[in-house]
Structure 1
Amino acid sequence: MKNTITTINPYNGAELNKFQRFSVDKIDSILNNAQSTYNEWKTTTIKSRTKLLVKLGDVLNNNLEEYSRLMTEEMGKPIKESRAEIEKCILLCDFYSKNSESFLADEIIETEAQESFISYDPLGVILGVMPWNYPFWQVFRFAVPTLTAGNTALLKHASNVTGCALAIQNCFEQAGYPIGCFQTLLTDHDNIEELIKNKIIKAVSVTGSEKAGISISTTASKVLKKSVLELGGNNACIILDDADLEKHMDTIVKARFQNSGQSCIAAKRFIVTKGIYNEFIKQFKEKVEALNYTDPIKEDAEISVLAREDLAKDLQEQVDASVKKGAKVLLGNKRDNAYFSPTILIEVTSDMKVFTEETFGPVAPIIKADSMDHAIELASNSRFGLGTMLFTKNTEAAKLKIGEIADGAFFINDMVKSDPRLPFGGTKASGYGRELSQEGIHEFVNKKTVYINK
């Protein structure tokens, strides 16, 4: 294991910064700080915690340009999308500042007792293992409800966004959170197992790959600690014959190519019924060809590089393997270091990697379906279960199919997206547990039964 972490701008290969990995002694000190802070933090009122959320939103707003530029430099996100990410974190703070008191209030249950209710008590120190693709949003949607419920949090972020990880800790501290309430750990992934086993850690939240989720949840289960997993996705985007392409095409393109395709909830399989298939391909290709590739720091950037060159190489392998099985390249399939051009594949079948695996980048495989039922069948043919989107004018008929989709989300005439007001999470290989909304703030609490008689 190297003693330092070096962050690299994926667009130009320039070295951004070097960071010293934490020693074992420093990590022990951070763990102890988290525990001692928790002992005080858990006794604070929910009202005082929500007041800090207002200040946290102000810190984000006051530093919006600085944080946005940092994200873009570290992982290549177009600057407009970086700003939108910070703005979404501000909305998250606002949502929980207004709703946490009611979410965490004792829930009265009528029984034979004189008084009985459910008390929502914090668990303790919670570990968050977070990815690089949404460096602020993924962390905030874990940390904000976790801290507001009375827990303290430790962050193991992806190493290529280490600057963001430290900036987030500073953000909480600037807002007035007690030192030790939210701390970043600069350590290697190999140390996560030992962290989870540490008696101070009470639970773990993971956003990442299926492989990482299996490894971390296995460790957590061996020591009887709760885990919440938000893992990969292979979302289907179903286009039915009566879909309004003129109205929805921009949304459909954004569903695949936002964040240069690096999103777990992106549309990764386009399942198009035969009556609209040719017209869809025509309009979709025109829109994708028009996406502007440039330095992500520029205001007109719509798509840019992937976060690392190895990610582009992995994507190339998936495309090449699918082409060998008969997929046809309609557009793109060009790689230059960390850049992978927007790519459209047709004549895709269900045995190809671009159908069965998660493609984390700007690749759009298109599959022809005979009917709505056939499209639903194809969409459901996946190990993953994060979300499905369906475009049609007949929303009533689409609503009848909700129960046939086993995913964590089903969006009609819109792209799958996270919203602070709605629960977010998946099924099958996409993980378990929920983030956001009331369900999210209840993930890391002890739902304690209280029963009182005189």
Structure 2
Amino acid sequence: MTHHAEHGYEAKAAQGGEGASAQKLKTENPATGKPGRTYDGHTREQALAIAGKVREAFPDWRRTSFTERGIVVGTAARILRERKDEFARLMADEMGKPVTEGLAEIEKCAVNCDYFVENAEGFLANEPVQLDGGRAYVTFNPLGPLLAVMPWNFPFWQVFRAAAPALMAGNTVLLKHASNVPGCALAIEDVFREAGAPDNVFRTILIAGRDTAELIDSPDIAAVTLTGSVAAGKAVAEAAGRNLKKTVLELGGSDAYLVLEDADIDHAATVAAMARMVNGGQSCIAGKRFVVVAPVREAFETALAAKMSAIRMGDPLDPATKLGPMVSVKARDEIHRQVRKSIENGARLLCGGEVPDRPGAWYPPTVLTDVKPGQPAYDEEVFGPVAAVIEARDVEDAIRIANDSEFGLGSGVLTRDIRRGEEIAARDLEAGMAFVNENVRSDPRMPFGGVKHSGYGRECGMFGIREFVNIKSVHVRE
């Protein structure tokens, strides 16, 4: 018997959870191109029925203490660590993540759980307000069942980033995961079940994206959080707006890093390569545009191309692998189209840019320079290992180019002048996050999210846990 079967979601995959369904979710190993396991999905009727059960579980869960919730969420952290090898392998099989990165992702999920177990009660403690006469304070009550619509690229982290604070706040959670990672989706439900969560406090449904709007329409759903594409965010926002339901949207990004004339070029290229190659470049907060002031552009692009070329593709199950396959051949082909179109429109290829002659969804680390408006590498989000080098006349021009994007998720400044770099990061860059001399990343302790077409609302930290609560004013005349 496999370890999967021991923990219950192998059987569910075969039986389709709550009743038989005609819909099949077929996985494919992106490293080999070979079919993986097939899962029975839920019908819309089954999904709505499960949403009803998640609603029914809410009143009892909201009345539990922070200590009781913390036992469940803290136990989930322990289970994640105990089963980390299994889950890392599952991610590798379903979406191609190298196991070393998968193990780090599982640990980050566990740290996130621990953080909110420790801090939720303080973040949501009543806040006194000084008014004339009587007592006044603000209290933070859970909203109700949260629908979490999640993507494939960080199939555990994205879910736990939203679920741990939501559960600690007293909400229940319904997960609609990406259809290419159904095993991960069911595994997460299994973690919370094994952790002792009461029935239906956390549930997974396997449905197509087109059926999500009907769930949002359901009175059993109180709010929605989505991480995904701009198109998906607009669709969810539209459906939620019709129903006046609170949403948090974390969408795409085309993160710009400014390389100033006084930057340490080797360090800047190291940070840039690391930023670009996060999750094989398949990350909203991966660095994508490197805006370099003219005097150091040639030195920087040469150093970046050397560091990117040194990253070798390999079997995601090999712990030494730094770059696995893209999520799918379709996604790889779209990345290649963007690269070729950019070159046709004047970009220059420094390394990579060729599709390997092998099965699977492989694409090499690629660097383009002379990137300008009118090229996909400038105008679009390139969701793969492709770095775009853009020349700026000076610092002010670099800031203008960085902000010349529909996106505003993360950003960076690479410079030896820490004071100037901090000023640019804090004041000038139109993004939800700005880092100086390091790559952008999420952290449970810091608010995470963007502006413009990168979405709205925040996850993580105190700001994140307060997104899905009723901020209530209470005044008592004594």
- Shared fold (TM-score greater than 0.5)? yes
Following superposition, the deviation at residue 415 of structure 1 comes to 0.7
Q: Which letter does structure 2 place at the counterpart of 1:360?
A: F
Instruction: Return the match for 1:253 from 273, 276, 288.
Output: 273
1:344 to 367, 378, 400: 367
Deviations 1:358-378 (A, max 9, x none): 000011111111211111111
Retained in 1: the 8 A contact 2:33–2:361?
Answer: no
Please show how residues 17-32 of structure 1 align to structure 2 within 5 Å: 17-32=37-52
**Residue number among 69, 76, 86 corresponding to 1:56 in the alignment:** 76
- Stretches of structure 2 that go unaligned for 5 or more consecutive residues are 1-20
Equivalent residue number for residue 77 of structure 1: 97
Moved more, 24-33 or 359-368: 24-33
Alignment of 1:88-103 (within 5 A): 88-103=108-123
Residues 370/87 of structure 1: CA separation in 2 closer, same or farther (3 Å cut): same
Q: CA deviation at 1:443?
A: 0.5
Structure 1 residues 112, 272: closer, same or farther in 2, change over 3 A?
same
- Tell me the number of residue pairs that the alignment of Structure 1 and Structure 2 aligns: 454
Q: Which moved more, 1:441-450 or 1:247-256?
A: 247-256
Unaligned runs of 5+ in 1: none
CA deviations on 1:291-321 (whole Å, 9 max, x unpaired) are 0211111111111211011111111221122
Instruction: Quote how far apart the aligned CAs of 1:248 are.
Output: 4.4
1:341 to partner: Cα distance: 1.5
The question of whether the paired residues in 2 share the 8 Å contact of 1:113 and 1:451 is answered with no
Which of 434, 437, 449 is the matching residue for 2:458?
434
What do you get for the CA RMSD once the two structures are aligned? 1.3
Report the Cα distance in structure 1 between the residues aligned to 2:445 and 2:249, rounded to whole angstroms: 19
Partner residue in 1 for 2:403? 380
Tell me the SS of whatever aligns to 1:27.
helix
Aligned counterpart in structure 2 of residue 239 of structure 1, from 242, 255, 259: 259
Kindly provide the CA deviation profile for residues 129-178 of structure 1, in whole angstroms up to 9, marking residues without a partner as x.
00000000000001111111000000110011100000000011111111
Please give the alpha-carbon distance, in whole angstroms, between the structure 1 residues aligned to 2:104 and 2:355: 27
User: Does the CA contact (< 8 Å) of 2:44 and 2:207 recur in 1?
Assistant: no
Runs of 4+ in 1 over 6 A off after TM superposition: none
Moved more, 310-319 or 146-155: 310-319
User: What residue number does 2:212 align with?
Assistant: 192
Aligned to 1:111, what secondary structure does the other structure show? coil
1:37 aligns with 57
Counterparts of 1:151-166 in structure 2, within 5 Å, are: 151-166=171-186
Q: CA offsets, 1:214-235, max 9 Å, x none?
A: 0110110011111110000010
User: Residue 16 of structure 2 aligns with which residue?
Assistant: none
Go from structure 1 to structure 2 and tell me whether the alpha carbon gap of 1:2 and 1:430 turns closer, same or farther (over 3 Å shift).
farther
Task: Supply the distance in 2 between the matched residues of 1:113 and 1:125 (Cα, whole angstroms).
Answer: 36
In 2, Cα distance between the equivalents of 1:156 and 1:24? 12
Task: Give 2:53's aligned amino acid.
Answer: N
Q: Which sits farther off after the overlay, 438-447 or 350-359?
A: 350-359
Note the 1:275-290 alignment, pairs <5 A: 275-290=295-310
Query: Normalization by structure 1: what TM-score?
Result: 0.98
Alignment deviations for residues 261-314 of structure 1 (CA, whole Å, 9 cap, x no partner): 000001110111122212212221111111021111111111121101111111
Cα-to-partner distance string for 1:195-246 (whole Å, 9 max, x where unaligned): 0000010110010000000011011001111111000001001111211233
Give the structure 1 partner of residue 3 of structure 2. none
Contact 2:27 2:38 in 1 (8 A): yes
The equivalent of 1:408 in structure 2 is 432
Taking the aligned partners of 2:95 and 2:270, their CA distance within structure 1 comes to 24
Letter in 2 for 1:375: A
Displacement after TM superposition at 1:2 (Å):
6.2
Instruction: Give distance in 2, aligned partners of 1:25 and 1:267.
Output: 41
Instruction: Indicate whether 1:177 and 2:197 are aligned.
Output: yes
Find the counterpart in structure 1 of residue 34 from structure 2: 14
Mapped partners of 2:22, 2:378: distance in 1: 37
Structure 1 contact 258–303 (Cα < 8 Å) conserved: no
Contact in 1 for aligned 2:412/2:439 (Cα 8 Å): yes
Equivalence for 1:47: 67
* Structure 1 partner of 2:10: none
What amino acid is the match of 1:423?
P
Other-structure match for 1:217: 237
Secondary structure of residue in 1 paired with 2:474 = strand
Q: Secondary structure at the match of 1:183?
A: strand
**Is the partner of 1:17 in helix, strand or coil?**
strand
Give distance in 1, aligned partners of 2:43 and 2:419: 58
CA distance in 1, matches of 2:303, 2:22: 49
Report Cα offsets for 1:84-110 as digits up to 9, x if no partner.
100111110111111111001111111
Q: Give the superposition deviation at 1:51.
A: 2.4
1:122–1:150 Cα contact (<8 Å) kept: yes
Kindly indicate whether the alpha-carbon contact (under 8 Å) linking 1:5 and 1:18 is maintained by their aligned counterparts in 2.
yes
Q: Secondary structure at the match of 1:93?
A: helix
Task: Confirm whether residue 368 of structure 1 aligns to residue 391 of structure 2.
Answer: yes
Post-superposition offset of 1:14: 2.2
> How far apart are residue 335 of structure 1 and its match?
1.9
Does 2:466 match 1:424? no
Query: Could you tell me how far apart the structure 2 residues matched to 1:385 and 1:50 are?
Result: 34
Cα shift readout 1:246-268 (whole Å, capped 9, x = no counterpart): 33433221100121100000111
User: Amino acid of the residue matched to residue 214 of structure 1?
Assistant: K
1:450 is aligned to 474
